[in-house]
Structure 1
């Protein structure tokens, strides 16, 4: 009797790199978008709805600085969450929600550590937004990876 071994194809780390980059980029962009919406909402919350003015040049500069700051702040947590989530989905492809939760926990933990190391004033909202963005992007990219593997 011959013993047949079935080799399943597991993508190498280099083959998973585009998915990791896509997940990191989407997480960073979603975090910046959440923080920009929050900032704009807080800035306009003191104004009555009838008197909302158009943005001037200084407002646009401030929003761009905020977006760049959020993107830099979210880069490391999002990258580590993407790497861990990619490994998790590669090992256990059925547990997408667990991968998204793990990505959120990793992004949250790394953002807390990053906040503590740089001794920034603790603001929970960007950290929570980064964790939420990492979970959303992990869920979306993992679904895309699963659909691509099924084809």
Structure 2
């Protein structure tokens, strides 16, 4: 009796690089979008909802600096979540993959906060975890049909 060995094809790191880059970039951009909305809402929190306030150039510069900071802060957690997801995209269901990406991004962001002694703000950390989960779900959806086509 011969035992057939099932060889699963594991793509090399170079083959997974576009998916990792796409997932990291989308996660960072979604985090920046969430933080932009958050900072804009905080800047206009004193005004009633019916009034529209135009921000002056100093406010816009401050918001841009904060958004760039959020993007830099979100880079490492998003990258590590993307590396994890690209490694386990075939082994885990999509919802577990998204949950794992969110947990990894949240844990790494907390570790970053602790290592650099930054003041802890939960909302950007949660936004980053949510963005990592959303991008993991989207990228895994793109990768799964492509993997089914290959023999």
Number of residues paired by the alignment? 149
State TM-score, norm by structure 2.
Answer: 0.88
| Contact 2:95-2:137 within 8 A present in 1 as well | no
Q: CA deviation at 1:2?
A: 7.3
Deviates more, 1:87-96 or 1:36-45: 87-96
Q: CA deviation at 1:110?
A: 0.3
Q: CA deviation at 1:43?
A: 1.2
Deviates more, 1:30-39 or 1:87-96: 87-96
| Contact 2:74-2:109 within 8 A present in 1 as well | yes
Question: Could you tell me which residue of structure 2 aligns to residue 4 of structure 1?
Answer: 4
- Tell me the secondary structure at the aligned position of residue 21 of structure 2: helix
Q: Specify whether residues 43 and 104 from structure 1 end up closer, same or farther in structure 2 by C-alpha distance, changes over 3 A only.
A: same
Consecutive unaligned residues in structure 2, runs of 5 or more: none
- Tell me the secondary structure at the aligned position of residue 141 of structure 1: helix
Q: What are the Cα deviations for residues 29-77 of structure 1, in whole angstroms up to 9, with x where unaligned?
A: 1111101101101111211234322232222211211111010000000
Aligned Cα root-mean-square deviation (Å):
2.1
Q: CA deviation at 1:94?
A: 6.2
Deviates more, 1:10-19 or 1:103-112: 10-19
Q: CA deviation at 1:10?
A: 2.9
Partners of 2:95 and 2:72 in 1: CA distance:
30
Consecutive unaligned residues in structure 1, runs of 5 or more: none
- Tell me the secondary structure at the aligned position of residue 94 of structure 2: coil
Q: Specify whether residues 146 and 96 from structure 1 end up closer, same or farther in structure 2 by C-alpha distance, changes over 3 A only.
A: farther
Q: Specify whether residues 68 and 91 from structure 1 end up closer, same or farther in structure 2 by C-alpha distance, changes over 3 A only.
A: same
Q: CA deviation at 1:93?
A: 5.9
Partners of 1:42 and 1:95 in 2: CA distance:
32
Q: CA deviation at 1:119?
A: 0.7
